Structure 1
Amino acid sequence: MFRWLALIGLAIFILGCSEQKSTEEVLFSGPTMGTTYHMKVVGFPLSVQDKQDIQIEIDRRLELVNDQMSTYRPNSELSRFNQSVAVTGFEVSRDTAKVVLEALRLNKLTNGALDVTVGPLVNLWGFGPDNRPESIPSEQQLNAIKQRIGIEHLAATETTLSKDIDGLYVDLSSIAKGYGVDVIAEYFASLGIENYLVEVGGELRINGVNARGIDWQVAIEKPTAVDQSVQEVIAVGNNAIATSGDYRNYYELDGERFAHTIDPVSGKPIKHKLVSVTVIHASSMTADGLATALMVMGEKDGLEFAKQQELAVLMISKSDSGYNEVYTKQFEPYLQ
């Protein structure tokens, strides 16, 4: 069964309509990428056959992303690349190459905070398919794995991937789910649909208005593992929104708390107080990757980076008195 190494739980969710719908709303849903998708199309006349055809096409396009970029499917493009020894010019689809090129761009932009080659470290710390370790990994274990990671060993063109060391393992789970959202959003746009919401495993892209003719409203979840409550309500506009957090996917070992986000430099789970990052961007793929990178950076460095790049970002940190939030001026207009 296919799964992504993704966050546990939905960090952002769609607010329900308290008033009667004024425009027809068509829903699409199903399983994908080890999670689920939920999509809404508003004010676009569709026959029963149209709905069936669109549902089939949604599933086909998301299944194609799986076949291209899943690390759980041994015959996917990415898995075959990972299984190869050092290679130059390994041919892949333009879709896979596009996502890898964006991962490379974001790695450079974030000074290495996003690194899609750290999968072996994720597994070592027990956040991949392997069981959680019975003891804290030693420096010797970390150093051994570090010999076969590092995005500097990865290269891509519009149709090929290359790696200069054996054993390099690329995991696109921090960015490919967002890419899947973009794929369906662009498909809807190609049909002439102007009002839609696309959600895959908590990553969203929105356009137009909802069934009541007003901007879609999205709730950002309070970063607590014990219940679901709202931290902020935002109107995203014609954008994507991605949230990354460490408040659910963690464990404790030998009196220490270990969260699933790995710092590529130290090779260890992050230790700072930042627990949730929300990014608004035109691209769900980019928002997805940036949210992960900012979680690695932490509140101070992440906020400085977001300001420099003029990103719309909300950060929530844990303190002795509860939760503190900060956001960039680019995020402020979206707050309700």
Structure 2
Amino acid sequence: MMALSNVVNAYRKRPALLAFFCLGSALLLSACGQKNEPWRFSGPTMGTQYHVTVVPKESYSCSQAEFDEKIRQSLVQTNQQMSHYIENSELNGLSRLPVGESVTISSDMEKVLRLSERLYTLSNGAFDITVGPLVNLWGFGPKSSPEDAVPSDEQIHAAMALGGGDSLQVSSGKFSKSKAVELNLSAVAKGYGADKVAEALEACGAQDYLVEVGGELLLKGLSPRGSAWKIAIEKPGNSLAGQSMQRLLQVSDKGVATSGDYRNYFEKEGVRYSHTIDPRTGKPITHALASVTVLAPSSAEADAWATVITVVGPEEGMRLAEQEKLPVFMLVKTKSGFKESYSSAFATYVQ
């Protein structure tokens, strides 16, 4: 899921926020108009914004100001670990690590790398954190060629040769690689950041909260109204103005992410090129999936799975959703508009 930011995701840019906040970029439906004002925290992080809503209680071990500071500290730490823009980040250190050498990594990095490894395997390479050279080649990354330049097959094959998600090894807190690849965690870092903020909140006693980092959500307990959190799935369109709701969900104790590319593409000589790159082909996707919403136990998992399904498309994406028992909601482009499709596990969320 995506906030409107300047940071380019390693795979795609995402549609507008799934949850809409009263205080700014969106409307968080569950928290509007309640008598007891929730605590709200927001600010910049990871090239985007974060928003946190906490239902206040006297039993908390932290003051409102302490909550604010702990949220900020948590996000600073995650950014220092996962950013490919910060020169001395832990991630960039792994990218520079010589082939064959081993280095100790943080427990957070190990968790994210293991999740990435698992999804790389389950998706047959559709989720690949070494996809950066292809993203740059197509003009969507931090070291990009002109965005409207279509690379040759030779250039694509050369860029694909620079990647390789199967060249990474993680074992007992150690990392090594068998190939000189660069890592990019943009498809999972913001979701993991939301999970880490949640840990900080719970350390202070909070059990009812919503965390959003760059559009990735983690919802816990009850909203300020005493019911499940209500979030809206945006109806696809070409304009940020006049956004409308496709579905209203009631969600608690889940991570939520929406991914799609219907606003993000360029055209060259009458051909439309998506910003979503399939690492297996080295080219933009061509299927009809407009957006996908994924619910998972953590925000990091939802974030990563949304990427996987966006890359593989509606048919393979639904097969994976059923296989993994994931609640997944899709909007698929047709000649007459958008068709809804959802997995068996999502049926309980349909109102």
Same fold (TM over 0.5): yes
Please point out which of 179, 195, 200 is paired with 1:165. 179
1:177-196 matched pairs, under 5 angstroms: 177-196=190-209
Give 3-state SS (helix, strand or coil) of 2:345's partner. Answer: coil
Q: 1:134 to 1:247 in 2, by over 3 A?
A: closer
Please report how far the alpha carbon of residue 10 of structure 1 lies from its aligned counterpart in structure 2 after TM superposition.
2.4
Instruction: Spell out, residue by residue over 1:28-78, the C-alpha distance to the aligned partner (whole angstroms, 9 max, x if none).
Output: 10000111011101132399x822222111111111111111001111111
Please point out which of 149, 160, 169 is paired with 1:155. 169
4+ aligned runs moved over 6 Å, structure 1: none
Q: How many angstroms apart in 1 are the aligned matches of 2:337 and 2:282? A: 29
Aligned residue number for residue 16 of structure 2 = 10
Contact 1:278/1:313 (<8 A) preserved: yes
Q: How many angstroms apart in 2 are the aligned matches of 1:236 and 1:315? A: 17
- The yes-or-no answer on 1:127 pairing with 2:133 is no
Please report how far the alpha carbon of residue 95 of structure 1 lies from its aligned counterpart in structure 2 after TM superposition.
1.0
User: Is there any run of 5+ residues in structure 2 with no aligned partner, and where?
Assistant: 21-27
TM-score, normalization by structure 2: 0.90
Q: 1:241 to 1:269 in 2, by over 3 A?
A: same
Contact 2:15/2:262 (<8 A) preserved: no
Identity of aligned residues (%): 42
1:220-299 matched pairs, under 5 angstroms: 220-226=233-239, 227=241, 228-299=243-314
Aligned residue number for residue 327 of structure 1 = 342
Contact 1:313/1:330 (<8 A) preserved: yes
- The yes-or-no answer on 1:306 pairing with 2:321 is yes
Q: How many angstroms apart in 2 are the aligned matches of 1:44 and 1:108? A: 43
Please point out which of 108, 117, 138 is paired with 1:95. 108
Q: How many angstroms apart in 2 are the aligned matches of 1:282 and 1:263? A: 26
Give 3-state SS (helix, strand or coil) of 1:278's partner. Answer: strand
Give 3-state SS (helix, strand or coil) of 2:277's partner. Answer: coil
Residue 157 of structure 1 aligns with an amino acid whose one-letter code is S
- The yes-or-no answer on 1:217 pairing with 2:223 is no
Please point out which of 211, 218, 234 is paired with 1:205. 218
Residue 13 of structure 1 aligns with an amino acid whose one-letter code is A
Give 3-state SS (helix, strand or coil) of 1:172's partner. Answer: coil
Give 3-state SS (helix, strand or coil) of 2:185's partner. Answer: coil
Instruction: Spell out, residue by residue over 1:273-319, the C-alpha distance to the aligned partner (whole angstroms, 9 max, x if none).
Output: 00101100111111111110011111111112211221100011111
Please report how far the alpha carbon of residue 248 of structure 1 lies from its aligned counterpart in structure 2 after TM superposition.
2.0
- The yes-or-no answer on 1:316 pairing with 2:327 is no
Q: 1:4 to 1:99 in 2, by over 3 A?
A: farther
User: Is there any run of 5+ residues in structure 1 with no aligned partner, and where?
Assistant: none
Contact 1:107/1:114 (<8 A) preserved: yes
Instruction: Spell out, residue by residue over 1:179-211, the C-alpha distance to the aligned partner (whole angstroms, 9 max, x if none).
Output: 001101122122221110001111111111111
Please point out which of 104, 126, 143 is paired with 2:157. 143
Instruction: Spell out, residue by residue over 1:228-267, the C-alpha distance to the aligned partner (whole angstroms, 9 max, x if none).
Output: 1111100112111011111122211222111222111110
Contact 2:258/2:293 (<8 A) preserved: yes
Q: 1:202 to 1:134 in 2, by over 3 A?
A: closer
Please report how far the alpha carbon of residue 158 of structure 1 lies from its aligned counterpart in structure 2 after TM superposition.
4.1
Residue 209 of structure 1 aligns with an amino acid whose one-letter code is L
1:22-61 matched pairs, under 5 angstroms: 22-45=35-58, 50-61=63-74
TM-score, normalization by structure 1: 0.94
Please report how far the alpha carbon of residue 134 of structure 1 lies from its aligned counterpart in structure 2 after TM superposition.
4.6
Aligned residue number for residue 23 of structure 2 = none
Instruction: Spell out, residue by residue over 1:136-179, the C-alpha distance to the aligned partner (whole angstroms, 9 max, x if none).
Output: 1001101111111111111112422211122x011111011110
> Which structure is richer in relative contact order (CA contacts within 8 A, separation 6 or more)?
2
Q: 1:257 to 1:2 in 2, by over 3 A?
A: closer
Please report how far the alpha carbon of residue 2 of structure 1 lies from its aligned counterpart in structure 2 after TM superposition.
9.2
User: CA RMSD for the aligned pairs?
Assistant: 2.0
Contact 1:101/1:157 (<8 A) preserved: no
- The yes-or-no answer on 1:67 pairing with 2:80 is yes
Q: 1:330 to 1:148 in 2, by over 3 A?
A: same
